[in-house]
């Protein structure tokens, strides 16, 4: 496991031992496994847990991260979105009618980026594993969502207010990360988020595992061959499109985050949730 | 009358959901998964805190946990 992480870090030039690494941790098997491995590899890791206000589920998740942090004497910060931004995920879903996973994911990414900037971090490292990335690639390619396909790449450089991001578990499956936390006897939270039931990613993962069962190594090939053969051309195509369409990022009028509109997605969504009227030109 | 000793079943608990199944025969892990309609790629089978490989034998009297590895909602 450690070797697979080291291989990914090296191959995709994710980070070095002198970098300050922000690791978002949910308390689930992937983030806990990655936290443990990065500590064992002596990287400078600062973990961040975002409390989303999804009742007991969020409390139990936070407890696991605290337990791990205490047991391993590892750095952890907990950000409660209700205290920080005045809403939680159930309220956001009710007010916006947007899918929970979409609001949750974007909110977390926003919080990670803000925190990483404030703390002067070099890279944000997430616990996406091979199954997460292969499922996303399969899902995005079903509609040729090129941006979605590009997002599966294990490293995304930092740009204009966005911190560099990396996914060192790219070579490890969900089965391997779960086996790791069990054999290492690490505290882990195995319950599924109540909002993730019926998520498309679960359907895609089941389908990929059905193929993997008949054709071992399929997921690895599917993902790594995409990175090698298709990713460079799609990346170039999308970059040219951005230049041609003259898409320029500006700063959000409220928080300064990069956005193509006057306000970033997070501030617009938050305003909708809290019934705040935003000034428009 | 001689008291017949009851055979203890192989107790299989599936997580999440905590659904329990009982079996009364010896079999390899892959056969157990087949009987439960589970894909070996999507679960980890555990006996006494140790993950088991597909070809290992499980038997009546033992307690097994099968944990689903699939988690949803994580968009890169």
pLDDT tens by residue, A106-128? 899 999 999 999 999 999 999 99
How distant is the Cα of A205 from the closest Cα of chain B, in angstroms?
A: 7
**Using the beta-carbon criterion (under 8 Å), do B71 and A182 form an inter-chain contact?**
no
- One DSSP character per residue, A17-53 reads TTSEEEEE--SSHHHHHHHHHHHHTT-EEEEEEEE--
pLDDT at B2 (0 to 100): 54
Share the mean pLDDT of chain A. Answer: 93
Helix (H, G, I), strand (E, B) or coil at B65: strand
How distant is the Cα of B69 from the closest Cα of chain A, in angstroms?
A: 6
Interatomic CA distance for residues A80 and A61, integer angstroms: 12
CB atoms within 10 A of CB B73: 21
CB atoms within 10 A of CB B74: 25
Its ipTM equals 0.86
pLDDT at A198 (0 to 100): 65
Burial class (CB in 10 A: 0-12, 13-18, 19+), A97: exposed
Query: Does the residue B1 lie in any domain?
Result: no
How distant is the Cα of A274 from the closest Cα of chain B, in angstroms?
A: 25
Question: With contacts defined as CB-CB under 8 Å, which chain B residues touch A30?
Answer: 71, 74
Letter string b/e over residues A50-80, b meaning 16 or more CB atoms within 10 A of that residue's CB: bbbbbeebbeebbebbebbbeebebebeebe
Average pLDDT over residues A217-244: 94
**Using the beta-carbon criterion (under 8 Å), do B76 and A152 form an inter-chain contact?**
yes
**Nearest-5° Cα angle at B73, B67 to B75:** 125
Helices within chain A (DSSP H only): 2-11, 29-40, 55-72, 81-85, 89-96, 100-118, 130-141, 146-150, 174-183, 200-214, 218-225, 231-244, 265-273
Count, residues in chain A: 281
Q: Which of A196-200, A224-228, B45-49 has the lowest mean pLDDT?
A: A196-200
Q: How many domains, chain B?
A: 1
Burial class (CB in 10 A: 0-12, 13-18, 19+), A253: middle
Domain boundaries, chain A: 2-273
Q: What is the DSSP letter of A260?
A: S
Q: What residue of A is the nearest CA neighbor of B40?
A: A213
Interatomic CA distance for residues A130 and A167, integer angstroms: 9
pLDDT at A213 (0 to 100): 92
Query: Does the residue B4 lie in any domain?
Result: no
Letter string b/e over residues A163-184, b meaning 16 or more CB atoms within 10 A of that residue's CB: bbbbbbbbbbbbbbbbbbbbee
**Using the beta-carbon criterion (under 8 Å), do B70 and A205 form an inter-chain contact?**
yes
Those residues of chain A whose CB sits closer than 8 Å to some CB in chain B are: 28-30, 100-102, 104-105, 126, 128, 131-133, 136, 151-152, 167, 173-175, 177-179, 182-183, 185, 190-193, 195-197, 199, 201-202, 205-206, 209-210, 212-213
**Using the beta-carbon criterion (under 8 Å), do B15 and A190 form an inter-chain contact?**
yes
Preceding amide of B13 cis, omega within 30: no
Q: pLDDT by residue (tens digit) across B2-44?
A: 555 678 999 999 987 889 999 999 999 999 999 999 999 999 9
**Using the beta-carbon criterion (under 8 Å), do B74 and A201 form an inter-chain contact?**
yes
Average pLDDT over residues A79-104: 91
**Using the beta-carbon criterion (under 8 Å), do B76 and A202 form an inter-chain contact?**
no
Helix (H, G, I), strand (E, B) or coil at A238: helix
The pLDDT-based confidence of A160 (bands split at 50, 70, 90) is confident
Task: Supply the CATH number for residue B27's domain.
Answer: 3.10.20.30
Interatomic CA distance for residues B62 and A202, integer angstroms: 31
Of A30, A199, A213, the CB nearest to B72: A199
Q: Count Cβ–Cβ pairs < 8 Å, chain A vs chain B.
A: 92
Question: With contacts defined as CB-CB under 8 Å, which chain A residues touch B49?
Answer: 182, 185
The pLDDT-based confidence of A201 (bands split at 50, 70, 90) is confident
- Among A179, A86, A279, which residue's Cα sits nearest to residue B65? A179
pLDDT at B75 (0 to 100): 64
**Using the beta-carbon criterion (under 8 Å), do B76 and A28 form an inter-chain contact?**
no
Its domain, for residue B52, covers 10-68
Query: Does the residue B16 lie in any domain?
Result: yes
Q: Which CATH architecture has domain A2-273?
A: 3-Layer(aba) Sandwich (3.40)
Give this prediction's pTM.
Answer: 0.91
Half-sphere exposure of A151 (CA within 13 A, CB side): 18
Does residue B67 belong to the interface with chain A, where contact is any CB pair within 8 Å?
yes
What residues of chain B, 16 to 35, have a C-beta less than 8 Å from chain A?
16
Do residues A45 and A75 lie in contact, with contact meaning Cβ atoms separated by under 8 Å?
A: yes
CB atoms within 10 A of CB A11: 14
Do residues A15 and A122 lie in contact, with contact meaning Cβ atoms separated by under 8 Å?
A: yes
Query: Does the residue B5 lie in any domain?
Result: no
How distant is the Cα of A165 from the closest Cα of chain B, in angstroms?
A: 10
Question: With contacts defined as CB-CB under 8 Å, which chain A residues touch B73?
Answer: 100-101, 104-105, 193, 195-196, 199, 201
The pLDDT-based confidence of A54 (bands split at 50, 70, 90) is confident
Residue A68 has pLDDT above 90, yes or no: yes
């Amino acid at each position: 496991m450690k070797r697979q992480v080291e291989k990914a870090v090296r191959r995709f030039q994710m980070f070095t031992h002198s970098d300050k690494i922000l690791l978002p941790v949910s308390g689930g098997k992937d983030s806990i496994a990655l936290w443990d491995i990065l500590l064992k590899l002596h990287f400078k890791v600062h973990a961040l847990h975002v409390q989303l206000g999804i009742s007991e589920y969020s409390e139990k998740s936070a407890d696991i991260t605290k337990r791990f942090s205490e047991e391993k004497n590892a750095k952890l910060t907990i950000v409660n979105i209700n205290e920080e931004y005045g809403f939680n995920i159930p309220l956001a879903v009710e007010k916006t009618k947007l899918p929970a996973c979409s609001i949750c994911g974007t909110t977390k990414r926003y919080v990670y980026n803000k925190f990483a900037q404030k703390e002067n971090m070099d890279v944000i490292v997430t616990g996406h594993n091979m199954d997460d990335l292969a499922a996303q690639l399969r899902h995005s390619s079903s509609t040729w969502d090129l941006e979605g396909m590009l997002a599966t790449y294990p490293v995304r450089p930092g740009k204009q207010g966005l911190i560099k991001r990396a996914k060192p578990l790219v070579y490890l499956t969900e089965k391997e990360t779960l086996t790791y936390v069990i054999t290492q006897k690490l505290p882990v939270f195995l319950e599924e988020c109540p909002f993730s039931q019926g998520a498309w990613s679960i359907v895609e993962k089941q389908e990929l595992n059905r193929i993997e069962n008949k054709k071992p190594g399929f997921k690895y090939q599917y993902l790594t061959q995409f990175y090698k053969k298709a990713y460079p051309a799609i990346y170039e195509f999308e970059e040219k499109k951005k230049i041609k369409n003259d898409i320029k990022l500006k700063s959000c009028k409220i928080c300064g985050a990069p956005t193509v509109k006057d306000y970033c997605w997070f501030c617009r969504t938050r305003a909708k949730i809290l019934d705040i009227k935003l000034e428009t030109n | 009358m001689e008291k017949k000793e009851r055979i203890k079943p192989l107790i299989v608990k599936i997580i999440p959901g905590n659904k329990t199944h009982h079996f009364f025969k010896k079999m390899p892990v892959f056969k157990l998964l087949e009987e439960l309609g589970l894909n070996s790629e999507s679960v980890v089978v555990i006996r006494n805190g140790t993950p088991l490989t597909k070809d290992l034998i499980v038997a009546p009297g033992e307690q097994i946990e099968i944990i689903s590895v699939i988690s949803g909602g994580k968009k890169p």
